[in-house]
Every structure is written in C-alpha cells, then in structure tokens.
Amino acid sequence: MLTAADELTSGPLVLRRWRRADAEVLYRVVSESLEHLSPWMAWAARGYSTADAVAYLSRTEEQWGIDYDYAIIAPGPAVAGSCSMMSRIGQGGFEIGYWVHPAHLGRGYATAAAAALTAEAFRIGADRVEIVHDLANVASGAIPRRLGFDEVDRRPSQDERSAAEAGVEVVWRLLAPGAAVV
C-alpha cells in the first residue's frame, strides 16, 4: 500500500497533515469545540489540555503511514476541524472519523473531508472504507449516506459511551471500485 499525501484538496477545503507545531492551534480549536463534541466523544467530555494536544500530535506523527490525521483547513485560512483515516478495521481497510468546529457547521465540510479521505484511501490501495457513528448522531450518519456508503451493521458500542449516545454503533461501508464484497 502507498502512503497518503500530506495534503489533500476537496472543494474549498485543504486537508493538511497535523504537525507537532500545531499544538497551540489544535488546543484552541478543540477547546472551543468541547461543548459541541462532548455529547458524542468521550475524550471531549473529559476535557482537553495543551498536554493532550501535544500527545495527540506526537502520536499522529509516529503513526503516519499506518493512520493518517489531518487538520481541516477552511477558507480564511482557519482550522475548521479534524479528520482521520484509521487502520483499525483490518488489512486493506480504513475507518474514517471527523469532527468540525461549531463555527463551521452546516457548510458541508465534514462531507467534503470524508469524500477526500475516501478517495485517498482508495488511491493508496484500500479495498474498503468504513464510517462508524452512534445511532443517535443523525448528523454524522447523513455523511456516509450522502457519499454512497451502505449501512452494513448495527452493533453494541465498542467504545466508552458519552452522554448523548444510544450505545449502538452504525457501520457504513464503501468498497473500492472492483473490490470483492467483504
């Protein structure tokens, strides 16, 4: 499998590889988003520190080539959120995750980021991409539906549950063109 590009473009957005030097901006953007994120992400409900930002960026740098984490850069330029391609679904596949700062909601940025990551995953050789969200997170579920993913499973949550979650994960999958059904 090839390595993902350091920078991707999707409509008005640029997805740029997170760097250790981004700790201050990541801390600020996450801190400003905690109220919006904490109902859906247990890590956000616990709070977020500068040390958390530094640890995340160190991990993303160390894991590059296995997992890929990007800042979502909106016109301005402004960091509008974060998105990732994670190898945790096994050989040949990536799970995509995303979140957007509340000031940038409703502009299609999460959809554009997920589309760019999906295309990049297939470009580097993935045979499938999955998006997993909690059943109660209807907004997150609209993204894979818009992008042509198929719902393939509903299962009990495998992660720590946060306040708004139903505890049921919805799994969406898109196969690479020509890939065999998984």
CA atoms within 13 A of residue 5's CA, in its CB half-sphere: 14
DSSP string, 19-79: -GGGHHHHHHHHHHHHHHHTTT-HHHHT---HHHHHHHHHHHHHHBTTBEEEEEEETTTEE
3-state SS, residue 129: strand
Question: Which pLDDT score is estimated for 119?
Answer: 97
Rounded distance between C-alpha atoms, residue 109 and residue 121, angstroms: 18
Rounded distance between C-alpha atoms, residue 78 and residue 128, angstroms: 31
Mean pLDDT of successive 10-residue segments in the chain (182 residues)? Answer: 93 96 97 94 91 97 97 95 96 96 96 98 97 95 97 91 90 90 60
Question: Which pLDDT score is estimated for 159?
Answer: 80
> Among all chains, which residue has been given the structure tokens 């995509």?
96
CA atoms within 13 A of residue 100's CA, in its CB half-sphere: 20
Question: Which pLDDT score is estimated for 179?
Answer: 76
Question: Which pLDDT score is estimated for 19?
Answer: 96
Instruction: Tell me, rounded to whole angstroms, the distance of Cα 26 from its chain centroid.
Output: 15
Question: Which pLDDT score is estimated for 163?
Answer: 83
Question: Which pLDDT score is estimated for 158?
Answer: 80
Question: Which pLDDT score is estimated for 182?
Answer: 57
Question: Which pLDDT score is estimated for 162?
Answer: 84
